Structure formats: C-alpha cells, structure tokens
Chains A and B, each alone.
Chain A
Amino acid sequence: MQTLKIVVTGPFSSGKTEFIQSVSEIDVVSTEKKISSRAERIKEATTVAMDFGRITIDDELILYLFGTPGQRRFDFMWEILSEGMLGFVVMVDSTRPETFREAQRILDTFRAYSPVPYIVAANKQDMKDAWPPDDLRIVLKIEPGIKVVPCVARNRESVKQVLLELLYSILEVMDQSGE
C-alpha cells in the first residue's frame, strides 16, 4: 500500500478544516479545541495539531490530506507535517486582509521546509467582500508561474478544482525536470 500526502496550510480561520472535510471520504480526524484567546474568537473551535482526511485512489494507493494548525504557537507542527508531502495548498481567507501578511509568512516558511509545488486557494470567493484572486496574487507577491485559484472550501466541486490544479502543477514540474 502506497500513501501520498498533500498539506493544506494557511492562517487561522482560513478554511483548511472545511476544505478537507469537503472531499475526505472519512470523517475528518480533527483535533479541534475550543478557542480561549479573545483575539482569535471569530470561530468556536480551532485545529491545534492537525486535520486528517483521506481519499482512497485504488487498492494500493491512498491520498492523505493534512491540515496544519493555523495559530502561530503551533507552528512547530508545520515542519513535521511537511515532510514527504507531494505538494501543498495555501488557503487564504479572501475577505480578511488582516491575515494576508500571515499567509505570506506561512507560504515562505513552507517553501523553505520543502520546495515542492504549491498553489494558493483564494477562499470564501462567494462572500461579498472577497478580494479577487488577481489582487491576492499581487499582495501576497505570488510568482507568475504559481496558480492563485478561486475557492469556496465548503463546496466540493471547488475543492476538487483546487486539488486538480495542484496536481496539474506537479505534472508541469515533472515535465520541466525532463522526466
């Protein structure tokens, strides 16, 4: 049995857990905890270790989706989770510009851990105040070759599209490396 791993990262409350829940075939193994900090109290619970989802590909291949904890004080988990990943998705809450700088830091950190292919998911595009993906590309200083994909994490089709775009990016990297 072979397993592959994609990591879903991003700032606090960017929609990582919801993203994984939308496509996982098992109930997401979520290590959520009631939020104690007033500043972060925009939702009831947050992920403190990781989320864990699964997609069975065939009898011999399983894809795992790991969601990282969004709060900075749990960032010691990031490096562990990034080990051996196929690629990663950076979730950004398009309606909360106050989190963009944090998203950029997380992106840089993950790139440093493991320079595998990645894409940016501009989440909550169904909301009225969502910043368009093109603007997010500029403010997050995303390189031209990296995709910034519109996303609604609770919509399965949208999440599928994000994952497919990441896989296409992985294929492109393989093509460029000539193998």
Chain B
Amino acid sequence: MALKGNLKDFGITQLLNLINLARKTGTLYLEGSQNKAYLCFREGALVYAAADGKEISLLPLLQQAGKLTAEQVRVITANAAGKPDRDVAMMLIQSGHIQQQEIVQIVRQHIVNLVYRVFSWNTGTFRFEPAELPIQGKLVTSIALENVIMEGSRRLKEWERLQDELPSLDVALKFAEKPNTPLRDVNLTVEEWRVISFVNPRNTIQQIAQNNNMSEFQIRKIVYGLLQAGLVEIIRPPRQVTDASVGEPRSTKTAERERVDATVRRPDVKRGLIHKLIDRIREL
C-alpha cells in the first residue's frame, strides 16, 4: 500500500524519519513545484537517489571529482557503451584507475547532496511505494538516514517551521530507549555534543539553552535535529512532589505510584465499574 500525501503538510524530514524508524524498503517519489525526484531505501537506509530525470552517471561524477580527465571519460565511454554503471565501476577498479572506496565515497556524496536539495521542498506531493526498488544495474550504496536527517535539519533555515515543530522549550529530553544507531556512530557537531551532555529528564530545553549560552533558534535547531534522528525524545519534567514532608522516608511503593502519576493518572473510579463497562460494551 502506497503512502501518499502533500509535502506542505508532511515534510521531507518527517518522511525520512518514518522510513528510518520503520526500516522501510521501497521508493519515495517526490514531485515538487518544479522538480521531481525519487529516493530508494532498503531497510531504512538510503541506497539511491535521482532527480530532474537524471540518473546517477558514474563517469561524469568521477570527472567532476577530478578522478578522470575529459579525455579518459571519452575513451571509457566509447569502450563501455551500453554497460551499466556497476560494470563500468568494476572495470575501473580492476584496471587500477580508481579504488572502490573512492567510488563509494563519491556516489554517496552525490546522493546525499541530492537529498539535501530535496529538504528545501516545501510544496508538492509524495508517494512511497513499498518494496519497489528501480535500481537494477545502478550504483547503489547504503547510507544511514540519521546523519542525513541531522545534516538536512542543520540546513533547514526556516525558523517558523522549527518553532512549529517544537512549540515549547519548557519540556525536557531523554535519550531514546532504542536508538537505531549508537551515539558514537553519529557525527555530531561540538554544539550538539554540548546539548547532548545536558540531556536529562530534570533539565528543560530552555535550561539547556541557558547553560550553553544558546539562542532559542540555535537550541531549537539542534534539538529538532536530534529528535528527527530519533536520538532523543521529549518528556515532560517530573511533577513536583509537594505533599511529602521534608526528611520523611518514602516507601518504594509510594515512589512507584508517583512515577505512574507523573505520566498517566489513575481514574478515580472502582475497578468493578470498568469491568461493568467492558461487559456491557462486549454485549452491544
């Protein structure tokens, strides 16, 4: 079943976040006001991208990167006419023109840059076709989306949008319980590490900003990136316990109850009434 929608209402960041967290395989087709693009994913990782009707073409990429001269490109193109990029890449590696790692790096950078461009598309439509991967014969790679989302978010300059996504700074953050990528594998800036070091259920985002001398814009931008990458989650600060006397030891059971109270309150009714409701609704 395809997921369809409008980019104005459901942005690229949210889409990538969904694909990442749900570890989806398939192709995301984007149609902006003037451009078209498609991004391919395998188990939540970005493997291929193309835009404006132009597929990735290895030789021009290598020329742009200074790995091949125009003359070399002309000769190789003549010799490898009709061969898919994957075969051309193998030929270049085997002939010692270039190392596999260099090709991987160049292709990855090209794909990632294309996705960063797509980040700025605020209008248009999207369609995600699960299990559809039009990548036969193409050069594919595997790029973890966390870093792409982080960098894409860094480039997101729309202050209003950030404010919209994170309306209140009076909430706290905690580390995601099951982050898909260990923190050490994620490329964070110094500023992001400074925020990370203050992540604690007792610190509101506002307090983290004050401690780091950050403006609201800076902290929103960083927290937004961390949230979208699934590294942290928003929580409300624990409720202040006002009824416990100072110095009075509290039993474990009381403490547990307070933890429950801080999230979901127990309805003020007897269990028997709930069972009556259940029985009645089953009968309906």
Q: List residues of chain A with CB under 8 Å of any chain B CB.
A: 2, 4, 23, 55-58, 61, 63, 86-87, 97-101, 114-117, 128-132, 134-135, 138-139, 141, 144, 156, 160, 163-164, 167-168, 170-171, 173-174, 176-179
Query: 5 tightest A-B contacts by CB?
Result: A98-B9, A97-B5, A177-B266, A97-B10, A57-B280
Residues of B within 8 A of A2 (CB): 273
Residues of A within 8 A of B266 (CB): 173-174, 177, 179
Q: Which of B1-22 contact A (CB under 8 A)?
A: 1-6, 8-10, 14, 17-18, 21-22
Cα distance A178–B281 in the bound complex, in angstroms: 25
By the criterion CB–CB under 8 Å, are B277 and A167 in contact? yes
Partner of A138, one of B21, B257, B267, B278: B21
Residues of B within 8 A of A97 (CB): 3-6, 9-10
By the criterion CB–CB under 8 Å, are A178 and B9 in contact? no
Chain B interface residue count: which class?
A: 35 or more
Q: Given A116-B265, A174-B274, output 7 extra A-B contacts at Cβ < 8 Å.
A: A2-B273, A63-B277, A117-B264, A135-B18, A164-B282, A168-B278, A177-B261
By the criterion CB–CB under 8 Å, are A98 and B267 in contact? no
A-B CB pair tally, cutoff 8 Å: 107
Cα distance A164–B279 in the bound complex, in angstroms: 9
Q: Is B78 in contact with chain A by the CB < 8 A criterion? A: no
By the criterion CB–CB under 8 Å, are B260 and A167 in contact? no
Residues of B within 8 A of A174 (CB): 266-267, 271, 274
Cα distance A100–B3 in the bound complex, in angstroms: 13
Most buried by B among A55, A63, A138: A138
By the criterion CB–CB under 8 Å, are A98 and B274 in contact? no
By the criterion CB–CB under 8 Å, are A167 and B281 in contact? yes
